[in-house]
Amino acid sequence: MRLVIMGPPGAGKGTQATVVATTLGVPHVSTGDLFRANVGEGTPLGLEAKRYMDAGEYVPDSVTNGMVRDRITQPDCHPGFLLDGYPRTLEQVNELDMMLAAASQSIDRVVELTVDTDEVVERLLKRAQEQGRADDTADVIRRRLEVYAEQTAPLTAVYAGRDLLVRVDGMGEVTEVTRRILSALAD
Ligand code: AMP
C-alpha cells in the first residue's frame, strides 16, 4: 500500500503515521523527520533546510523532491510506504506522480486528518514545551498554519478528484483516531 497522510501542523500526523505504518508493516517516511535528522547531523541539506524550517516556510522543492526520491526508491519502500508531510505543494504532487510512474506505481489512498484550529495551536504550544522544537513558537506556528492553508489544503481537492481521499476526524484520543484511520483504509 502506498499511502499519504495529510493535515495541518499539529493534527497528529506524525503520531498517527508512526502507529499506522507499523500496523500495516510499511516504512513511515516523514519529510519533517528526514529534515530534522539532516539538521541534527549538520549535513549541507540540513543547513539549507533549517533556514526555512525555523521560519515556518516550506523547504524549496529543489531540496525536498530529491530527498523523497532517494528515500522511496530504497528497497524497504518497494512493497509500500506511508508518506507523512509530502506532498505539500501542487508541484510536489506532480513530482510524486512522476517518481511513482517511473516505477509503474501510484498512490493508493490519501488520508486527511481534520482538526479544530484552536486545538491545533494548543497542541503545538504543548509540544514546544515538551520537545523544544525551534519551529513551535507562537509566531512560527501561525505562519505554518497560513502556509498550510495556502499551499497544502488545496491538495485535498486534487486527491478527492482522483477518488483517493479519505477524511478522518483527528480530534479525540490517539488510539481512537488510529482506529478511525485503519477502519477508513480497510473500506
Ligand atoms: P513537519 O514535521 O511535517 O511539520 O515538517 C517540519 C518542517 O519541515 C515544515 O514546516 C517545513 O519547513 C519542512 N518540510 C517538511 N516537509 C516538507 C515538504 N514536503 N516540503 C517543504 N518543506 C517541508
* pLDDT for residue 68: 98
Measuring CA to CA, which residue among 17, 60, 18, 32 is closest to residue 133? 32
At 126 the pLDDT is: 85
Residue listed under C-alpha cell 519533517: 32
Determine the pLDDT at residue 125. 86
Distance CA 72, CA 27 (A): 9
For 35, 39, 63, 155, the CA distances from 42, given in Å and listed in that order, are 10, 5, 15, 32
pLDDT reported for residue 136? 76
Extended beta strands in 11-108, E state = 28-30, 81-84
User: CA 39, 61, 169: angle at the middle one, nearest 5?
Assistant: 85
pLDDT of res. 130: 86
pLDDT score at 142: 86
Residues labelled as active-site residues: 13, 88, 127, 133, 144
Q: Which of 16, 18, 31, 39 to mutate to test the pocket of ligand 1 (most atoms within 8 A of CB)?
A: 31
pLDDT score recorded for residue 31: 98
Q: Which residue numbers in the chain have pLDDT < 70?
A: none
Interatomic CA distance for residues 111 and 145, integer angstroms: 18
| Statement: the pTM of the whole predicted model exceeds 0.85 | yes
Which residues make beta-bridge pairs with 114? 169
Supply the pLDDT for residue 121.
86
Which superfamily is assigned to 2-186 in CATH?
P-loop containing nucleotide triphosphate hydrolases (3.40.50.300)
Best mutation site among 4, 16, 53, 62 for ligand 1 pocket (most ligand atoms within 8 Å of CB) = 53
